Amino acid sequence: MPRTAELRRNTTETQIFLSANLDGTGSHRLSTGVGFFDHMLTHLSKHSLIDLTVEAVGDLHIDAHHTVEDVGICFGTVLKTALGDKAGIRRYGDATVPMDETLVTAAVDLSGRPFLVWKANIPNEILGTFQAQLGEEFWRAVSSAGAFNLHVIVHHGHNTHHLLEATFKAIARALRQAIEPDPRSTAIPSTKGVL
């Protein structure tokens, strides 16, 4: 079965179409109106090998918050849908990614239980039109809608661009590992028999 899903979500704040292929090559078509966010989504797609299409129109005359959060809700929802019952996946993934002076670790458990631990002291700068604190908001929305545990630890670093980019890359790599088919098992990876 192809592990693909798509979602169209329209609210008074945002209109979003998002599709994903979990068994892709990292190809992407991204248009959110927030340049730095598109840059981060490019890393998410490339390093997770998830083919990703995002078309978002949001109330950017206010700020980027609603657009970023709602894309996160859509991505988490599509990820959960595409994974189905999660039979035959590895379930867990982790990655530590360096980027120049920055080092970030991310760990994922596709447990069916949403939880975000964000130990990342990232300066609240504005990169283009993207407030740095929106990185946490995006991943909180993804982990909540996707119903999975996500732990992020920034070990060190000071350049805000590097901190966010290494974070997106580390999470992408952890997700890539967690969604991979396990060559040794086709069962649901839980003693409960359900995730």
- DSSP secondary structure code for residue 51 in this structure: E
Domains, the chain, ranges and CATH? Answer: 4-179 (3.30.230.40)
Decide if 134 contacts 68 (C-beta within 8 A): yes
* Res 169: pLDDT: 99
What is the per-residue DSSP string for 65-123?
Answer: HHHHHHHHHHHHHHHHHHHTT-TTB--EEEEEEEETTEEEEEEEE--S--EEEEE----
Share of the chain above pLDDT 70, in %: 100
Token readout for 136 is 């946490």
Query: Largest alpha-carbon pair distance within the chain?
Result: 51
Per the listing, tokens 């918050």 go with 65
Residue 90 has pLDDT above 90, yes or no: yes
Tokens matching residue 96:
């530590």
pLDDT at 52: 98
12-70 pLDDT tens trace: 999 999 999 999 999 999 999 999 999 999 999 999 999 999 999 999 999 999 999 99
Instruction: Please tell me the predicted confidence (pLDDT) of residue 163.
Output: 98
Give the number of C-alpha atoms closer than 13 A to the C-alpha of residue 189, restricted to the C-beta side: 21
Q: Give me the count of residues in the chain.
A: 195
Give the model's confidence band at 168: pLDDT under 50 very low, under 70 low, under 90 confident, else very high: very high
CA atoms of 92 and 108, how far apart (whole Å)? 6
Residue 189: predicted pLDDT? 97
Mean pLDDT of 96-120: 98
